[in-house]
Amino acid sequence: MAAFKAIVINKTESGTAVALTDFDEAGLMEGDVTLRPEWSTVNYKDGLAVTGKAPVVRRFPMIAGVDAAAVVEASSHPAWKPGDKVLVNGWGCGETHLGMYAEKARVKGDWLVALPPGLTSRDAMAIGTAGYTAMLCVMALERAGIGPDRGPVIVTGAVGGVGSVAVALLAKLGYQVTASTGRPAEGGYLRDLGATEVIARVDLTGPARPLGKERWAGGIDTVGSTTLANVLSMTRYGGAVAACGLAGGMDLPTSVAPFILRGVSLLGIESVMAPLALRKQAWQRLATELDRHKLAKMIEEIDLGGVVAAGKKIIEGGVRGRLVVKIR
């Protein structure tokens, strides 16, 4: 087909404009694999891109969409052939490379991961970049020696995509999970995912002391700023916190006290350019270690026409769990 439907972001005099429109196949970027995306998802970064709230997009016009579960349509890459089911996330898709909210895409074969056995394409995008990032956080805590035997762990922004999957994963692995949220009405949802304690976001939003009462052996933070500073100050001796988000801000108003007086480690999690071996490990573990019944509790399904409104909603903190996007 010469044209296909896509969510396209264009530069305007006042900022950006986004719409579901036709995109000419001739405008696709270089790559050795052509894909037919079947499912995608709405991540916080996608929300930033479609709303223009942050300078996520680096070239125009841009097809939005960080990730997809897709079928290979054509390939000159030795690892892939037509009909293969694959996953793509990150690598600048939706930022510097045309993204996945589209009926067709072209990428480098080296960016792709085979859909793990036992995962449907829909389930893979219910997990999406958010869930993949949550698994990277869990793996980082494990490498730092923070196992279930070390004590309770905290997840901030727990109702969001990364947070929801993190709670479910940690609970399945035997951790005692404290979930922090600004939406107290979602306490039942978080307990259903496996949280043993739910605390209010306000408990972590005041100015952080250099050192607070030791509460958690570790944590996964999706918020940043004062929330992360408070979590660090309350982390037990020798603990570790995996940081992967900035919904609350990019600043970190803390001191060196947690690091040099308690030996706390701050583990930075970067998912966009993570090496292929780490991606494969994360996706294999997600396929076997994430409770599908809990995943089902997180999911809301939309189509391409609903992406722009969903992007606005996720930035406003109005999305619970995961949004899956049916492309075709």
List the CATH number of the domain containing 91. 3.90.180.10
**Do 138 and 257 belong to one domain?**
yes
Would 274 be classed as within a structural domain? no
**Do 145 and 238 belong to one domain?**
yes
Would 149 be classed as within a structural domain? yes
Largest CA distance in the chain: 62
The Cα–Cα gap between 203 and 199 comes to 7
**Do 58 and 187 belong to one domain?**
no
**Do 177 and 253 belong to one domain?**
yes
**Do 186 and 134 belong to one domain?**
yes
**Do 111 and 134 belong to one domain?**
no
The Cα–Cα gap between 267 and 270 comes to 10
**Do 161 and 262 belong to one domain?**
yes
Would 282 be classed as within a structural domain? no
Query: How do residues 49-97 score in pLDDT, each as one tens digit?
Result: 999 998 899 999 999 999 999 999 999 999 999 999 999 999 999 999 9
Q: Which residue has the tokens 């790559």?
A: 31
Choose among 86, 90, 66, 68: nearest CA to 77: 86
Number of structural domains the chain divides into: 2
pTM of the model: 0.94
Would 223 be classed as within a structural domain? yes
**Do 208 and 321 belong to one domain?**
no
- DSSP character for 28? P
H-type helices in the chain, by residue range?
44-51, 121-143, 161-172, 187-193, 225-233, 257-261, 276-289, 292-298, 307-315
b/e per residue 187-211 (b: at least 16 CB within 10 A): bebbbebbbeebbebeebbeebeeb
**Which two three-digit tokens encode residue 37?**
């995306």
| pLDDT value at residue 1 | 54
Would 273 be classed as within a structural domain? no
Would 281 be classed as within a structural domain? no
The Cα–Cα gap between 40 and 327 comes to 7
**Do 178 and 246 belong to one domain?**
yes
The Cα–Cα gap between 99 and 104 comes to 9
Would 187 be classed as within a structural domain? yes
Q: Which residues contact 207 (CB under 8 A, 6 or more apart)?
A: 226, 253
Would 45 be classed as within a structural domain? yes
Averaged pLDDT, groups of 10, the chain, 328 residues long: 92 94 96 98 95 93 98 98 97 97 98 96 96 98 98 97 97 98 95 98 95 98 98 98 95 98 98 96 97 94 97 93 94
What's 196's domain CATH number? 3.40.50.720
**Do 151 and 108 belong to one domain?**
no
**Do 133 and 109 belong to one domain?**
no
Domain that holds residue 317: 3-115+291-326
**Do 142 and 262 belong to one domain?**
yes
